[in-house]
Amino acid sequence: MRPLPRFRLHRPGSIAEALGLLSSLDDAKPIAGGTDLVPLLRDVERGPRNLVCVGQLGALSYLREEDGMVTIGATTTLSRLLESDTIKRRAQGLHDAVYQMGSVQIRNLGTIGGNLCNASPAADTAPPLLVLDSDVTVASEGESRTMPLADFFVGPKISSLKPYELLTEVRFPAQQRSSGSAFHRIGRRKGFTLSVVSAAAYIERDGEYCRRARIALGSVAPTPIRVPEAEGELEGKEVTEALFEDIGVVCRDHIHPIDDVRGSASYRKGVSGVLVNRALKDAWIRAGGELI
């Protein structure tokens, strides 16, 4: 551990100013809550020469539901997400995830944007957002582009953000009736800890049938991933407990996790199916389904 490297911290008063700084400054990085970035900076000999603080920009912190879409500003804190009734009802899996992310202190500082931009394969907001077909908006001076969240992640701790860009918004269709989503993960204790493996599921129910399904996993690949092969096996089928177990197995067979200090590849593979199964069950029940 080292003292923080030297940098200049800028605190722009508007999004436009922030984008201006990011494009004009040499070697600049955005920072909001700092819960990932600050510990990281204590491990390096040299860090970015400039940090552009966006946490104070009220314009980037919002949570709205309109026209069937939920839009979340990038600097919305995890605490705010946890307290939100909209998230609890319209993004159930995301609520599950935030509920067990970090401690009170970390949730008060950490932001949804920060969690996504850190781009850890273990980012807990990612699987629930992926199963909700989320898009993210990335802005730079003069332009902004929107992409599916799946395209935002490129590799472990690597996002597709360019140095002059800022993630500004996450959006997804609000869950409607007869749909449910859920998130499960395994840590190394009951208290807050990084996920060793995690799974999120989204189901749209049509009677006894699964009309539409989305499944995503964390900590089993270089980025958080969807498992389309499993989704395909599930869509259109009549839901039973056995089906969900099989889907868990399909997921397990389609992933190639690695060993690291938190868990081995074989353990991650072994329990991924269990988590998918549990997430599917919860999502199904939340969608009003019954399990045979």
**Measured torsion, CA atoms of residues 107, 281, 248, 178, in degrees rounded to the nearest 10:** -90
From the CB of 165, what's the least distance to another protein, in Å? Answer: 22
* Residue 78 makes contact with another protein by CB under 8 A: no
DSSP character at residue 2:
-
Residue 162: strand, helix, or coil: coil
Instruction: Give the residue with the Cβ less far from another protein, 173 or 270.
Output: 270
From the CB of 11, what's the least distance to another protein, in Å? Answer: 6
Amino acid sitting at position 65: E
Distance CA 85, CA 63 (A): 10
Alpha helices (H) in the chain, listed in sequence order: 15-24, 37-41, 78-83, 85-90, 92-99, 104-109, 112-118, 126-131, 149-152, 228-234, 241-253, 265-286
From the CB of 55, what's the least distance to another protein, in Å? Answer: 7
From the CB of 24, what's the least distance to another protein, in Å? Answer: 18
From the CB of 224, what's the least distance to another protein, in Å? Answer: 19
Q: Which of residues 255-284 bind another protein (CB under 8 A)?
A: 261-264, 266-267, 270-271, 274-275
Q: Show the site string, 87-126: x = touches another protein by CB under 8 A, - = not.
A: ---------------xxxxx-xx-----------------
Q: Which of residues 173-212 bind another protein (CB under 8 A)?
A: 186, 188-194, 196
Amino acid sitting at position 121: P
Give the orientation angle of helix 265-286 with respect to helix 92-99, to 10 degrees: 130
* Residue 46 makes contact with another protein by CB under 8 A: no
Overall residue count recorded for the chain in this entry: 292
Instruction: Give the residue with the Cβ less far from another protein, 99 or 137.
Output: 99
Distance CA 128, CA 111 (A): 15
Where on the chain is the footprint of another protein (CB under 8 A)?
A: 1-9, 11, 31, 33-35, 38-39, 42, 45, 51, 53, 55-56, 79, 102-106, 108-109, 186, 188-194, 196, 261-264, 266-267, 270-271, 274-275
